[in-house]
């Protein structure tokens, strides 16, 4: 799905290249349930729901303008398999087991969200997180080790866009994104 097709209205959005890698690491094939925490514009939820039509997606967002944009994007892309929850994570997240969990935003609740994920992720499920700040990634890595996530992979995705400058061209860099991927078990 193309970034320019999503309505945004200044709500922060996960860009297509980061979305592609994050969704790949969620390993959604044959999964039944997926939770997207801090859904923003809904781009991760909508792409996952679109690419895996049998997947039931739960998207949670606390920001009113984000919620409005997610509703508009769901209507624009004719997406029906998303339950949109308005509220603060983790308190407002429906209490059930999820096959995959994505954390795109956590505010000051990173630790409680990771504890929720640890208790509500299927034992064979994938947890994927995006960070801009190194400090938040380091904090998450420490908490995930305490919560007995046995394997975690951390990568940085740095994408640069082709831009014209005068008569020439250059690659204008986007902010790099840290993608963390953690599982329990083997």
Q: Give contact residues for ligand SAM (rule: CB under 6 A).
A: 11-14, 38-41, 43-44, 60-63, 66, 88-89, 104-107, 109
Q: 76 vs 151, which CB is nearer to ligand SAM? A: 76
Give me the DSSP letters along 60-109.
EE--HHHHHHHHHHHHHTT--SEEEEES-TTTTS-SS-EEEEEES--TT-
Count of all residues that appear for the chain in the document: 186
Q: How far is the CB of 66 from ligand SAM (least distance, A)?
A: 4
Cα–Cα nearest to 99, from 79, 74, 128: 128
Q: 33 vs 73, which CB is nearer to ligand SAM? A: 73
Q: 124 vs 158, which CB is nearer to ligand SAM? A: 158
User: Which distant-in-sequence residues (6+ apart) come within 8 Å of 76 by Cβ?
Assistant: 5, 7
What span, in angstroms and rounded, lies between the C-alpha atoms of 68 and 108? Answer: 23
Q: How far is the CB of 125 from ligand SAM (least distance, A)?
A: 18
Q: How far is the CB of 138 from ligand SAM (least distance, A)?
A: 18
Q: 111 vs 154, which CB is nearer to ligand SAM? A: 111
What span, in angstroms and rounded, lies between the C-alpha atoms of 64 and 151? Answer: 35
Q: 95 vs 186, which CB is nearer to ligand SAM? A: 95
Q: Is 165 exposed, middle or buried (0-12, 13-18, 19+ CB in 10 A)?
A: exposed
Q: How far is the CB of 151 from ligand SAM (least distance, A)?
A: 23
Q: How far is the CB of 77 from ligand SAM (least distance, A)?
A: 13
Q: How far is the CB of 167 from ligand SAM (least distance, A)?
A: 36
Name the H helices within 13-63.
16-26, 43-51
Q: 69 vs 182, which CB is nearer to ligand SAM? A: 69
The residue whose Cβ lies closest to ligand SAM is 105
């Amino acid at each position: 799905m193309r970034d320019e097709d999503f309505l945004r209205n200044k709500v922060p959005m996960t860009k297509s290249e980061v979305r592609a890698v994050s969704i790949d690491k969620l390993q959604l094939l044959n999964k039944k349930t997926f939770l997207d925490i801090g859904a923003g514009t809904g781009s991760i939820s909508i792409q996952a729901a679109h690419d895996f039509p049998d997947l039931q997606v739960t998207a949670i967002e606390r920001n009113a303008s984000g919620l409005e944009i997610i509703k508009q994007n769901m209507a624009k892309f004719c997406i029906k398999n998303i339950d949109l929850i308005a509220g603060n994570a983790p308190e407002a997240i429906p209490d059930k087991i999820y096959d995959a969990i994505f954390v795109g935003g956590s505010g000051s609740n990173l630790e409680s969200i990771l504890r929720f994920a640890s208790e509500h992720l299927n034992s064979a499920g994938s947890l994927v997180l995006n960070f801009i700040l190194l400090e938040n990634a380091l904090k998450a890595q420490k908490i995930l080790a305490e919560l007995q996530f046995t394997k975690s992979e951390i990568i940085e995705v740095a994408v640069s866009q082709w831009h014209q400058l005068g008569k020439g061209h250059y690659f204008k860099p986007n902010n790099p994104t840290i993608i963390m991927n953690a599982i329990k078990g083997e």
